[in-house]
Every structure is written in structure tokens, then in C-alpha cells.
């Protein structure tokens, strides 16, 4: 059975995956411009392909440790956003297994390492998991993430 | 003056007739002797002159002695006056003008002889007359002399029993001189007995004291001999000890010499070790510099590895992006084929989608290969980085080890130099010690010889002391004999009775004797003596 391919990566120590067609490009050491008065997980603005790209630390947003690696630039059709992740492993195979929580049995997520509520991750992640090379990558719900009011509210003091 | 007075008294007393023939006989004998003496002398001189005259007369006569003289002497008869006159002339010529003539001397001798004969005749006549007078006077004088002698015998009789208190009466009788001489002899005897007794007493006392001293000296000599013997034994032991000390010192000197040799060998070995350590340190410093360069090269390699890693990362990123694009393209194609109107399009569109799908697949494979290359490159970079890190780590460890080795070498070198200095000091000290010990050995040897000589001298002294002890013992025995002799001497004079001391002026027989001798001395007209002299006795 053939599945859409996903970009496999890690953020905050958590193995995640996003659809490959939702990723415009992967940047390495993208220069950032910090913005005052924003949330800690909002890293700032960067310029990619001639356009401003707001970059968010996905690990911090998920309530995990801060990520410090590459930046996934999402496709403009999905939303203008950049996600800072740790390590990008590559793309999943087309015939990789996609399992549900029931298939896996149990919560694979690590314990909370920050004060962010766990519900935030529940809104950003799907219940599907790609099993590749023995690792389980939880698929990120980009639509839900980009429409999450908390994700969009980057101004400090309201959260 | 006394002699003149005596002659005058004798003439005045009628004694000239008895003395005149004696005087005349004396003068005649004197003249005869003088004449004969002068005559003998003249004859001797004449003979001597004649002995010297013969050669000169022979010379005056010439070589022919048989020729008669030119002027023979007047008359060859020596008994004639003419011949005598010729002889006197010759004698005068030989003896000198001042000498008396030989004829006058002969005449004087004849006159003296005649005078002697006359004097002898006179003496014979006078002697006959005097014998007649003496025979007449002998009877009365004999009686007086017998009485005086009997009195003298009575006075000196106690002397036979040793009584020295007797004193003869000095009178004008014939025995007066005998009494005076007897008194003087008795006084001398008293002085002698008193002196003998006192001397024997003092000798006894002195002998007793000397005997005690000799006994003490004998004891002291015995103690001295014992101490000297003991000291000699000590000196012998000291000599042996000094000899042993000398031997030990010689052995110590030999050991010190060996120590010096060992110190020199050790010093050379340490010097060689120091040089070897210095070379090792230089080599270690070189190795350290090489290791530092290796570490620097490893750092450079790390920099290059970082570049490779960056390239690999970029390649990986490029491959990822390409793969994403290819995946997105493939997903778009799949989505387009799945739509219902896909078969209704122009036939070229389908072909275009097929070619697009084929290109997407090629791109995906290319991306995969690039990704694999990036992975290989990244792996190689990681391996190189790991190796470089290992090399750098090893180099740093080596450098640290070499630094530590250098420090240890420097410390060892310093310790070696210090040990070398210590060995030099030991060598110097050992050398000085060797000299000192050698000098000590020589001195100890000399000292042993001196002590041995001293021991020998002590043995000689001991022998002398033993001899002295024996001599002193003999002296003590001699003193004992002398003491016995003094006692015997006192016993010998004990039978003599002396005047009591109160009769003497200042006590003691010596004072009485001195007083008696003083009287005798006054009688002799001499100064005072301690004892009477023989001249005083002769005078009496």
C-alpha cells in the first residue's frame, strides 16, 4: 500500500513528520530577526525566497526543549510559517507503515519538559504515526496547528 | 834578737870556753868546704875550657901538631912557683880577670885544714875537761831528776785506767817539758775522745736517720719500680693499640682511596647519564614540537572536516529539498491522475503528465543518490573528524606526556647534576679524608714507635730503679753496719773518763778541748786553733 511521503524530523526530542508536499524548502542556519514582545517559542522573522517567514520553535511550542537545527519552510498553500526543528532525517518511503495510536498501543510521547499545557500538543498532532527504521514519527496536523489561535497569537502577555 | 841575746848571755855566763872550739871548728869546716867547693868548680870550669881550647890551639899551631910551640911555658913542673904563675896566667886568661887564683884557693884550703885540725884538738881537750865536770855534777842532778820523774809518774798513773782528767805539774825540773807535753797530749786525747764520742753519737743519729730514709727510699723504690712496671705495661698496651690504630688508619686510608675511585667512577657515570638525559630531553623536546605540529595539523584537518561537513550538510539539505520537490511533484501527478477529467484532456496533456512523472522519478532517484553521497560524505567527515579528534587527543596526550617527561627529565637532570656535585663533594671530602687518615696513620705509626721506645726506656728505668733499690738496700745495710760501728766506737771510748761538762766553759768536751788547745796555742805563740798543732808540741 502506497502512502504520501512525509518529511521525518525531530523537534524537542520528539520524532515528528509532516507531509512532504506541505514543505516548500528546508533551510539551514536561517538568519532570524528577533521581534520584541513576542512569545518565547516565536523565534522571529526570516527572509526566505524573497519573502518574510515567521519562524516558530516547534519544540518549545509543544512544551518540550528548544529545538536548534533546521527550519522547515511550509508551502504557501498550507500557510506562511517556518518551523524550527532539530534534525531532519529525510523523507519517508512511500510504502512506510502508518499506524494509529490503537495500533501502537499507548502514548509514545515523552514526558513534559516545559510548562506548556499538553493540550497544545493534542491540537497540533494527529493520531497517526509513521514507523520508519524502527522510529515512530507522529504526523503533525499542520492545518490545525496553523489555525490554532494560540499558535497565531505571538504577542507576549496574553497567553 | 833572741839569738844575739842568747849568745851574749852564754858568753857572759862563762860558757864561751865550751862554745869557742865548736865555733872555731865550724868556721874552719865552713872555710874548708868553701875552698874545696870553689876549687872543684874551678877545676870543672878549667876542664871545660880545656876541652874547648884544644881545637883552637891546634888551629893556632897549624896542621902539624908534632911541632914544638914557639914559646914554651916557663918550666913544665907544675909544682914550681914559676910553673904555677904560668898556669895562673893561663887560668886567668881562661877564667877571666875577676876569678880568684887557683894557688890562693889551694892555700886557703890548706889553711882551713890546719885550722880544723887545731879545732879538733881543742875540742878533744875541752871535752875531757867537761866530762870531768859532768861526772861531778851527775850525782845531784840524777837525784833531782829521779824525784821529778817519780812525781810525774804519780800524776799520770790514772791515765792508764782511762782517766783523762789527770794533769801533770809543769815545773822548772827536767820533767817540766814532759809534763807540758803530757798535758798537751792528754788535752788532745780528751779532745779526740770527746770528738770521737760526739761524732759517734752524731754518726749514730745520722745513720739512724739515713737508715730510716734509706728504708723509706727502698719502699719508695719498690713502689716506683712497681708503678714503672705498670706504666711500662700500659705503654706496651698503648704501643700495641697505636700499632692497631695505625693499621686501622692505613685500612681506612685504603678504603678512602677506594671511595675516591668509586666517587670518580660514579661521577663519570653520572656525567654520562646527565649527557644522555640531556640528549633525551632534546629529543623529547623535538618530539613535543612534532606532536604539537601534529596537533596543529589535526586542528587544520578538523577545519577541513568542518568544511566537508558543511558541504555534506548542504548536499544533504539540497538532496532533501530536491526530494521534497520530487515528492511534491509526484504527489501532484498522482492527484491529477486520480481526477475524473484526466482522461478527457487533450492527448498531449496525458503524455506531458507521463513525462512529468518520469522526470519526478528521476529527480527522486537523483535526490536519493545525492542524499546517499551526502550521507557518505557526512560519514566520511565524521570518521575523519573522529580520527582527527583522536589524533589530536593522542597528540595532546603525547604532548602532555612529553611535557611531563621533559619536566621529569629536567628534574632528573637537575638531580643528576646535584648528584654529580654531591659526588664531587664526596670525592673531595674522601680525598681530604684519605690524606688525613694517611697522615694519621703515619703519625700513629711514629707515635707507636715513640711509645715503644718509651716502653723500652721505662724498662731501662725500671731496671735502674731495681738496681737503685738494691743499692739503697745495700746502703741501708751498710748504714746498719756503720751504726753498729758507731756503737762499737762509742763503746770503745766509753772507758775514758772526761771532766764533767760543768767544768767546761760552755759545756761539752769540745769546749774543754778548745780551751786547752787555746792555751797550747797561746803557748806556741800562734793564733787560736780548734786543736793543738804539732808545732806547739815540738816547741815544748
Q: What is the pLDDT of residues B277-336, one digit of tens each?
A: 888 888 888 888 888 888 888 888 888 888 888 888 888 888 888 888 887 777 777 776
- Indicate which CATH number applies to the domain containing A111: 2.40.50.180
Phi, psi at A55, each rounded to 5°: -115, 130
All three cell numbers of B427, joined, read 670525592
**Interface residue B115 vs chain A (CB under 8 A):** no
pLDDT in tens, B470-500: 888 888 888 888 888 888 888 888 888 888 7
**Interface residue A49 vs chain B (CB under 8 A):** no
| Residues A5, B317: C-beta atoms closer than 8 Å | no
Return d(Cα A117, Cα A62) in angstroms, integer. Answer: 8
| Residues A26, B327: C-beta atoms closer than 8 Å | no
What's the ipTM? 0.83
Which residue did the predictor score with more confidence, B213 or B353? B213
Packing angle between helix B347-493 and helix B175-337, nearest 10 degrees?
A: 170
Containing H/E element for A83? strand A82-84
| Residues A7, B320: C-beta atoms closer than 8 Å | yes
Return d(Cα A153, Cα A39) in angstroms, integer. Answer: 8
Is residue A1 one of the residues assigned to a domain?
Answer: no
**Would the pLDDT of B207 be above 60?**
yes
pLDDT on residue A35:
92
pLDDT on residue B87:
52
Confidence of residue B528 (pLDDT cuts 50, 70, 90): very low
pLDDT on residue A53:
94
The mean of the pLDDT values for chain B is 74
N-terminal to C-terminal alpha carbon distance within chain A = 43
Query: Taking residues B147-171, what's their average pLDDT?
Result: 84
Query: Taking residues A89-112, what's their average pLDDT?
Result: 72
pLDDT in tens, B247-268: 888 888 888 888 888 888 888 8
What distance lies between CA B25 and its chain's CA centroid? 81
pLDDT in tens, B438-471: 888 888 878 878 887 888 888 888 888 888 888 8
Q: Are A140 and A78 in contact (CB under 8 A)?
A: no
**CB-CB neighbors (< 8 A) of A5 in chain B:** 327, 330-331
How far away is chain A from the Cα of B386, in angstroms, using its nearest Cα?
20
**CB-CB neighbors (< 8 A) of A30 in chain B:** none
**Cβ-defined contacts of B343-351 (< 8 Å, 24+):** none
Confidence of residue A112 (pLDDT cuts 50, 70, 90): very low
Query: Which of the residue ranges A108-117, B253-262, B392-401, B443-452 would you say has the lowest mean pLDDT?
Result: A108-117
pLDDT on residue A34:
93
pLDDT on residue B173:
77
| Residues A4, B331: C-beta atoms closer than 8 Å | yes
Is residue A71 one of the residues assigned to a domain?
Answer: yes
All three cell numbers of B99, joined, read 876569678
pLDDT on residue B77:
44
| Residues B317, A23: C-beta atoms closer than 8 Å | no
Return d(Cα B124, Cα B24) in angstroms, integer. Answer: 13
Query: Which residue is associated with the grid cell 875550657?
Result: B49
pLDDT on residue B66:
44
Q: Are A55 and A32 in contact (CB under 8 A)?
A: yes
**Interface residue B328 vs chain A (CB under 8 A):** yes
Query: Which of the residue ranges A1-5, B94-98, B238-242, B462-466 would you say has the lowest mean pLDDT?
Result: B94-98
**CB-CB neighbors (< 8 A) of A7 in chain B:** 320, 324
Residue closest to B190 by CA, chosen among B540, B485, B500: B500
Query: Taking residues B69-98, what's their average pLDDT?
Result: 49
How far away is chain B from the Cα of A21, in angstroms, using its nearest Cα?
4
Mutate to test the interface with A, among B328, B365, B370 (most CBs of A within 10 A): B328
* β partners of residue A33: A45
Nearest CA in chain A to B332: A21
**Would the pLDDT of B204 be above 50?**
yes
Residue A45: how many other CB atoms lie within 10 Å: 16
Which residue did the predictor score with more confidence, B389 or B515? B389
Query: From residue B467, how far is each of B225, B253, B471, B474 by CA, in Å?
Result: 10, 46, 6, 10
Confidence of residue B344 (pLDDT cuts 50, 70, 90): low
| Residues B371, A90: C-beta atoms closer than 8 Å | yes
Confidence of residue B144 (pLDDT cuts 50, 70, 90): confident
| Residues B321, A88: C-beta atoms closer than 8 Å | no
Query: Which residue is associated with the grid cell 522573522?
Result: A45
pLDDT on residue B379:
82
Nearest CA in chain B to A7: B324
Measured at the alpha carbon of residue A18, what is the angle toward residues A17 and A23, in degrees to the nearest 5? 135
**Would the pLDDT of B503 be above 60?**
no
**Interface residue B332 vs chain A (CB under 8 A):** yes
Residue B112: how many other CB atoms lie within 10 Å: 20
The listed range with the strongest mean pLDDT (A51-65, B60-74, B183-197, B443-457) is: A51-65
| Residues B324, A25: C-beta atoms closer than 8 Å | yes
Residue A110: how many other CB atoms lie within 10 Å: 14
All three cell numbers of B285, joined, read 623536546
| Residues B317, A28: C-beta atoms closer than 8 Å | yes
Query: Which residue is associated with the grid cell 857572759?
Result: B12
Return d(Cα A14, Cα A85) in angstroms, integer. Answer: 10
Is residue A81 one of the residues assigned to a domain?
Answer: yes
Q: Is B522 helix (H, G, I), strand (E, B) or coil?
A: helix
* β partners of residue A9: A16, A88
pLDDT in tens, B41-75: 877 877 776 677 555 554 444 444 444 444 444 44
**Cβ-defined contacts of B360-364 (< 8 Å, 24+):** B360/B326, B360/B329, B360/B330, B360/B333, B361/B326, B361/B330, B363/B322, B363/B325, B363/B326, B363/B329, B364/B323, B364/B326, B364/B327, B364/B330
Query: Which of the residue ranges B1-15, B103-117, B234-248, B502-516 would you say has the lowest mean pLDDT?
Result: B502-516
Contacts of B336 (CB under 8 A, 6+ apart): B342, B353
Domain span at residue A148 reads 6-152
Mutate to test the interface with B, among A6, A8, A21 (most CBs of B within 10 A): A21
Name the DSSP class of A86. Answer: S
pLDDT on residue B68:
45
pLDDT on residue A43:
94
Q: Between B321, B330, B332, which is nearest A26 by CB?
A: B321
Query: Taking residues B75-86, what's their average pLDDT?
Result: 46
User: Quick one: CA torsion of A143, A148, A153, A154, rounded to 10 degrees?
Assistant: -50
**Interface residue A7 vs chain B (CB under 8 A):** yes
The mean of the pLDDT values for chain A is 83
All three cell numbers of B197, joined, read 764520742
Listed in sequence order, the DSSP H helices in B15-101 are: 16-61, 81-95
**Would the pLDDT of A86 be above 50?**
yes
Return d(Cα B2, Cα B14) in angstroms, integer. Answer: 19
| Residues B320, A90: C-beta atoms closer than 8 Å | yes
Total of domains in chain A: 1
| Residues B331, A21: C-beta atoms closer than 8 Å | yes
Containing H/E element for A90? strand A87-91
pLDDT on residue B99:
56
Is residue A157 one of the residues assigned to a domain?
Answer: no
pLDDT on residue A16:
92
**CB-CB neighbors (< 8 A) of A71 in chain B:** none
**Interface residue A48 vs chain B (CB under 8 A):** no
Residue closest to B245 by CA, chosen among B451, B449, B444: B444
Return d(Cα A61, Cα A140) in angstroms, integer. Answer: 13
Return d(Cα B295, Cα B260) in angstroms, integer. Answer: 50
- Contacts A–B by Cβ distance under 8 A: 37
Query: Which of the residue ranges A108-112, B88-92, B266-270 would you say has the lowest mean pLDDT?
Result: A108-112
Name the DSSP class of A100. Answer: E
pLDDT on residue B239:
79
**CB-CB neighbors (< 8 A) of B332 in chain A:** 21
Packing angle between helix B175-337 and helix B508-524, nearest 10 degrees?
A: 130
Q: How many alpha carbons lie under 13 Å from residue B27 in its C-beta half-sphere?
A: 9
Query: Taking residues B8-13, what's their average pLDDT?
Result: 58
Return d(Cα B431, Cα B405) in angstroms, integer. Answer: 37
pLDDT on residue B143:
78
**CB-CB neighbors (< 8 A) of B336 in chain A:** none
**Would the pLDDT of B11 be above 80?**
no
pLDDT in tens, A23-47: 999 998 789 999 999 998 999 999 9
How far away is chain A from the Cα of B322, in angstroms, using its nearest Cα?
9
How far away is chain B from the Cα of A116, in angstroms, using its nearest Cα?
31
| Residues A5, B320: C-beta atoms closer than 8 Å | no
Confidence of residue A73 (pLDDT cuts 50, 70, 90): very high
Mutate to test the interface with A, among B324, B337, B375 (most CBs of A within 10 A): B324
| Residues A7, B317: C-beta atoms closer than 8 Å | no
Query: Taking residues A144-148, what's their average pLDDT?
Result: 88
Return d(Cα B436, Cα B419) in angstroms, integer. Answer: 24
Q: Could you tell me where the beta strands, DSSP code E, fall in B93-186?
A: none
State the pTM of this model.
0.43
**Cβ-defined contacts of B398-402 (< 8 Å, 24+):** B398/B287, B398/B291, B399/B288, B399/B291, B399/B292, B399/B295, B402/B284, B402/B285, B402/B287, B402/B288, B402/B291
Which residue did the predictor score with more confidence, B231 or B1? B231
pLDDT on residue B355:
67
| Residues B320, A26: C-beta atoms closer than 8 Å | yes
Query: Which residue is associated with the grid cell 758507731?
Result: B486
Amino acid at each position: 500500500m502506497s502512502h504520501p511521503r512525509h518529511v521525518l524530523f525531530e523537534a524537542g526530542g520528539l520524532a515528528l513528520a509532516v507531509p512532504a508536499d506541505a514543505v516548500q524548502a528546508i533551510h539551514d542556519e536561517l538568519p532570524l530577526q528577533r521581534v520584541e514582545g513576542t512569545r518565547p517559542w516565536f523565534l522571529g522573522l526570516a527572509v526566505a525566497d524573497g519573502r518574510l517567514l515567521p519562524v516558530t520553535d516547534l519544540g518549545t511550542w509543544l512544551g518540550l526543549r528548544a529545538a536548534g537545527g533546521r527550519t522547515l519552510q511550509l508551502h504557501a498553500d498550507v500557510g506562511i510559517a517556518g518551523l524550527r526543528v532539530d534534525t531532519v532525517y529525510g523523507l519517508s518511503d512511500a510504502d512506510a507503515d502508518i499506524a494509529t495510536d490503537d495500533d501502537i498501543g499507548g502514548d509514545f510521547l515523552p514526558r513534559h519538559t516545559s510548562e506548556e499545557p499538553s493540550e497544545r500538543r493534542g491540537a497540533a498532532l494527529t493520531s497517526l504515526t509513521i514507523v520508519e527504521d524502527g522510529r515512530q514519527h507522529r504526523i503533525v496536523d499542520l492545518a490545525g496547528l496553523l489555525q490554532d489561535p494560540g499558535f497565531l497569537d505571538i504577542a507576549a502577555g496574553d497567553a | 834578737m833572741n839569738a844575739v841575746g842568747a849568745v851574749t848571755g852564754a858568753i857572759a855566763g862563762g860558757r864561751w870556753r865550751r862554745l869557742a872550739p865548736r865555733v872555731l871548728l865550724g868556721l874552719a869546716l865552713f872555710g874548708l868546704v868553701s875552698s874545696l867547693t870553689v876549687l872543684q868548680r874551678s877545676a870543672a870550669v878549667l876542664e871545660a875550657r880545656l876541652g874547648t881550647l884544644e881545637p883552637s890551639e891546634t888551629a893556632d899551631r897549624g896542621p902539624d901538631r908534632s911541632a914544638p910551640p914557639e914559646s914554651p911555658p916557663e918550666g913544665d913542673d907544675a909544682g914550681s912557683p914559676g910553673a904555677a904563675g904560668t898556669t895562673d896566667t893561663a887560668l886567668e886568661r881562661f877564667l877571666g880577670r875577676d876569678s880568684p887564683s887557683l894557688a890562693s884557693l889551694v892555700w886557703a884550703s890548706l889553711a882551713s885544714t890546719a885550722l880544723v885540725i887545731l879545732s879538733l884538738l881543742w875540742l878533744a881537750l875541752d871535752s875531757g875537761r867537761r866530762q870531768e865536770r859532768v861526772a861531778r855534777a851527775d850525782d845531784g842532778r840524777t837525784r833531782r831528776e829521779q824525784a821529778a820523774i817519780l812525781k810525774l809518774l804519780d800524776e799520770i798513773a790514772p791515765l792508764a785506767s782511762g782517766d783523762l782528767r789527770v794533769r801533770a805539774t809543769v815545773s822548772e825540773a827536767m820533767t817540766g817539758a814532759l809534763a807540758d807535753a803530757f798535758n798537751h797530749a792528754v788535752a788532745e786525747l780528751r779532745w779526740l775522745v770527746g770528738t770521737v764520742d760526739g761524732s759517734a753519737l752524731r754518726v749514730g743519729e745520722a745513720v739512724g736517720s739515713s737508715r730510716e730514709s734509706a728504708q723509706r727510699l727502698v719502699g719508695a723504690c719498690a713502689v716506683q719500680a712497681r708503678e714503672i712496671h705498670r706504666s711500662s705495661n700500659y705503654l706496651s698496651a698503648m704501643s700495641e693499640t697505636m700499632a692497631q690504630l695505625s693499621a686501622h688508619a692505613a685500612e681506612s686510608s685504603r678504603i678512602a682511596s677506594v671511595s675516591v675511585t668509586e666517587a670518580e667512577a660514579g661521577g663519570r657515570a653520572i656525567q654520562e647519564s646527565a649527557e644522555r638525559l640531556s640528549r633525551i630531553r632534546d629529543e623529547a623536546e623535538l618530539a613535543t614540537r612534532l606532536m604539537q605540529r601534529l596537533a596543529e595539523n589535526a586542528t587544520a584537518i578538523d577545519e577541513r572536516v568542518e568544511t566537508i561537513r558543511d558541504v555534506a550538510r548542504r548536499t544533504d539539505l539540497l538532496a532533501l529539498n530536491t526530494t521534497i520537490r520530487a515528492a511534491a511533484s509526484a504527489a501532484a501527478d498522482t492527484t491529477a491522475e486520480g481526477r475524473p477529467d484526466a482522461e478527457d484532456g487533450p492527448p498531449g496533456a496525458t503524455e506531458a503528465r507521463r513525462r512529468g512523472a518520469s522526470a519526478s522519478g528521476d529527480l527522486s532517484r537523483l535526490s536519493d543518490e545525492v542524499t546517499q553521497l551526502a550521507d557518505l560524505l557526512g560519514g566520511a567527515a565524521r570518521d575523519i573528524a573522529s580520527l582527527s579528534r583522536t589524533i589530536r587527543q593522542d597528540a595532546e596526550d603525547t604532548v602532555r606526556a612529553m611535557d611531563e617527561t621533559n619536566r621529569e627529565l629536567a628534574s632528573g637532570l637537575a638531580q643528576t647534576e646535584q648528584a654529580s656535585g654531591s659526588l664531587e663533594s664526596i670525592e673531595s671530602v674522601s680525598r681530604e679524608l684519605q690524606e688525613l687518615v694517611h697522615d694519621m696513620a703515619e703519625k700513629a705509626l711514629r707515635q707507636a714507635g715513640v711509645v715503644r721506645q718509651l716502653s723500652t726506656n721505662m724498662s731501662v728505668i725500671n731496671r735502674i730503679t731495681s738496681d737503685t733499690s738494691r743499692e739503697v738496700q745495700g746502703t741501708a745495710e751498710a748504714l746498719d753496719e756503720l751504726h753498729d760501728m758507731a756503737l762499737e766506737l762509742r763503746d770503745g771510748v766509753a772507758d775514758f773518763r772526761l771532766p764533767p761538762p760543768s767544768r767546761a766553759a760552755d759545756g761539752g768536751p769540745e769546749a774543754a778541748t778548745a780551751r786547752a788547745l787555746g792555751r797550747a796555742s797561746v803557748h806556741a805563740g800562734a793564733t787560736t786553733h780548734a786543736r793543738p798543732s804539732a808545732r806547739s808540741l815540738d816547741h815544748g
